Amino acid sequence: MKGIFLKHTAKVLWTMALLIFLAAACEGIGTTPIGNILDKPRDYAGKKVTVSGEVTEIFSLFVIKYFVVQDKTGRIAVVSDKPLPRKGNTVRVAGTVREAFSIGDQQLLVLVEEGTK
């Protein structure tokens, strides 16, 4: 009886470990690395993408609100009219890539979060 219980417990533990590993491995699936957007802005301008990363900055001043998301490849400002996440949170954001402005060879790309007017 004790042997059957131990075998069952071992199977449950292995299954849980496998599920945790798979969940961690799938974290980036379906997201676009921010560095790809920054390296090839023409390929992404006007396109819907999903990015994920850590919130490194937040800014709110009357009519404009944005936060900066950083992954291993770069960082991008996310314009939103939704409540802002906390600095340090890990987020997954879907939106449309837009050029905020361009001066000479410098440009600022932003991600306008879905549902933002």
Q: Tell me: the pLDDT tens digits for 8-62?
A: 566 766 666 555 655 555 555 689 999 999 999 989 999 999 999 999 999 998 7
What's the pLDDT score for residue 13? Answer: 63
CATH topology of domain 31-113: OB fold (Dihydrolipoamide Acetyltransferase, E2P) (2.40.50)
Alpha-carbon 113 to chain mean position: 11
Average pLDDT, the chain: 83
Amino acid identity at 102 = S
All structural domains of the chain with their residue ranges: 1-30, 31-113
Reported confidence tier of residue 109, pLDDT bands at 50, 70, 90: confident
Reported confidence tier of residue 113, pLDDT bands at 50, 70, 90: very high
**pLDDT over 70 percentage in the chain:** 74
pTM for the structure as a whole = 0.73
Distances (CA, A) of 85 to 18, 56, 59: 31, 10, 10
